[in-house]
């Protein structure tokens, strides 16, 4: 399916030196990971997020929370990056500065070859001590949950509801949004702050904002361009057009 990508959009990207990207669950949808807000098949549809994705839920039932995340980890490890992830990795190589900010915890950007990835919500594949907050690389796989050498439980290194975002990651994301010439918002419902604020910061700083999402979001009316189609379809075509424009 050929997507109608405006010539002016390609020109803006062809001229840009600094590009920032924000991705959400939608970029991984075509890899087989359900999005959060999909009412029928969404990740939270059969689970109570307050039991699984809050520090209080972990204190109440550490085994349930650990096992739920362990199952997600195994499932995601068996899935592959899709053409949207691959196109972003190829785009990174074209620009002087390219910062890929993601709300996803699935490592699929890194597995597709992206290097400058800022993870706002942590990474499911990493584990940290629930007391010391330090990342731990080896632990007893057969315990549920395993314990840190300090005696506290280990937990996934992801940001749960009600928790602060990693300070360094947020600072890097804000810096990229405020200093880019083009900002792409891809596969995010743009509802969860502070991530949702990044495209607005970019707009205020004078960047061209491009949204890629099959649905309209609260960002759509602010964006300079909105491409309403799946990112795994749009991004490879965008890359191809950009390559052709600078050939
Ligand atoms: N290509 C691009 N976008 C898609 C695709 C696709 N193939 N499929 C779905 N989308 C869009 C949906 O239209 C929706 O706007 O992806 C968006 C996914 O939205 P959410 O499920 O709300 O995911 P996200 O924006 O990443 O959520 C942000 O909320 O629950 C928290 O911490 C969690 O990181 C998550 C945050």
> For position 60, which CATH number holds?
3.30.1600.10
More confident residue, 56 or 37: 56
Confidence of residue 37 (pLDDT cuts 50, 70, 90): low
Instruction: Report which protein residue has its CA nearest ligand 1's atom 8.
Output: 26
Residue 178 Cα distances to 5, 119, 191, 228, angstroms: 25, 17, 19, 25
Answer yes or no: do 152 and 227 share one domain.
no
* Position 238 pLDDT exceeds 50: yes
On whether residue 54 sits in a domain, the answer given is yes
* Count of domains observed in the chain: 2
Residue 227 Cα distances to 10, 15, 179, angstroms: 13, 20, 23
How far does residue 166's CA lie from ligand 1's centre (Å)? 20
Instruction: Report which protein residue has its CA nearest ligand 1's atom 25.
Output: 188
Answer yes or no: do 142 and 214 share one domain.
no
**If you average pLDDT over residues 122-129, what whole number do you get?**
97
Mutate which of 21, 22, 25 for ligand 1 pocket (most atoms within 8 A of beta carbon): 25
Domain ranges, residue 54: 34-78+122-158
How far does residue 35's CA lie from ligand 1's centre (Å)? 5
Answer yes or no: do 149 and 173 share one domain.
no
Per residue in 149-183, pLDDT (tens digit) is 999 999 999 999 999 999 999 999 999 999 999 99
* Position 192 pLDDT exceeds 90: no
Three-class secondary structure of residue 166 per DSSP:
coil
Answer yes or no: do 202 and 224 share one domain.
yes
**If you average pLDDT over residues 135-153, what whole number do you get?**
92
On whether residue 87 sits in a domain, the answer given is yes
On whether residue 150 sits in a domain, the answer given is yes
How far does residue 149's CA lie from ligand 1's centre (Å)? 37
Answer yes or no: do 144 and 131 share one domain.
yes
**Segment 33-40 long-range contacts (CB within 8 Å, at least 24 positions apart):** 33/76, 33/79, 33/106, 33/108, 35/187, 35/189, 36/189, 37/189, 37/191
Answer yes or no: do 115 and 224 share one domain.
yes
- Of residues 85, 109, 115, 121, which has the active-site annotation? 121
Instruction: Report which protein residue has its CA nearest ligand 1's atom 23.
Output: 25
Answer yes or no: do 111 and 222 share one domain.
yes
On whether residue 186 sits in a domain, the answer given is yes
Answer yes or no: do 177 and 235 share one domain.
yes
Cβ–ligand 1 contact at 31 (below 6 Å): no
How far does residue 92's CA lie from ligand 1's centre (Å)? 22
Q: What percent of the chain has pLDDT over 70?
A: 96
On whether residue 2 sits in a domain, the answer given is no
Cβ–ligand 1 contact at 81 (below 6 Å): no
pLDDT of the residue at 13? 97
Mutate which of 35, 69, 86, 87 for ligand 1 pocket (most atoms within 8 A of beta carbon): 35
Answer yes or no: do 176 and 222 share one domain.
yes
Answer yes or no: do 174 and 109 share one domain.
yes
Element (H, E) at 121: none
Contact partners, residue 40, CB within 8 Å, separation at least 6: none
pLDDT of the residue at 133? 94
On whether residue 1 sits in a domain, the answer given is no
246 burial via Cβ count (<10 Å: 0-12, 13-18, 19+): exposed
Q: What is d(CA 152, CA 147) in angstroms, rounded to the nearest whole number?
A: 6
Greatest alpha-carbon pair distance for the chain in Å reads 59
Average pLDDT along the chain = 94
Answer yes or no: do 146 and 53 share one domain.
yes
179 is catalytic: no
How far does residue 221's CA lie from ligand 1's centre (Å)? 18
Confidence of residue 39 (pLDDT cuts 50, 70, 90): very low
């Amino acid at each position: 399916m050929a997507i109608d990508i405006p010539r002016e959009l390609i020109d803006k990207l062809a001229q840009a030196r600094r590009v920032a990207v924000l991705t959400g669950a939608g970029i991984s949808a075509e890899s087989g990971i359900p999005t959060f807000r999909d009412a029928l098949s969404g990740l939270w549809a059969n689970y109570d997020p307050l039991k699984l994705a809050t520090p209080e839920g972990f204190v109440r039932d550490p085994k349930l929370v650990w096992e739920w995340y362990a199952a997600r980890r195994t499932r995601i490890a068996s899935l592959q990056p899709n053409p949207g992830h691959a196109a972003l990795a190829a785009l990174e190589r074209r620009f002087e500065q390219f910062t890929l900010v993601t709300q996803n915890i699935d490592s699929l950007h890194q597995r597709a070859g992206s290097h400058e990835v800022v993870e706002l919500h942590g990474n499911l594949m990493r584990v940290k001590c629930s007391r010391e907050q330090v990342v731990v690389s080896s632990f007893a796989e057969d315990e549920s949950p395993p314990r840190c050498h300090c005696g506290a439980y280990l937990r996934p290194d992801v940001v749960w509801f009600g928790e602060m975002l990693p300070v360094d990651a947020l600072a890097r994301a804000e810096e990229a949004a405020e200093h880019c010439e083009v900002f792409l918002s891809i596969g995010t419902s743009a509802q969860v702050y502070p991530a949702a604020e990044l495209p607005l910061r970019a707009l205020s700083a004078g960047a061209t904002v491009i949204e890629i999402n099959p649905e309209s979001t609260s960002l759509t009316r602010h964006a300079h361009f909105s491409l309403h189609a799946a990112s795994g379809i749009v991004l490879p075509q965008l890359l191809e057009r950009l390559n052709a424009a600078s050939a």
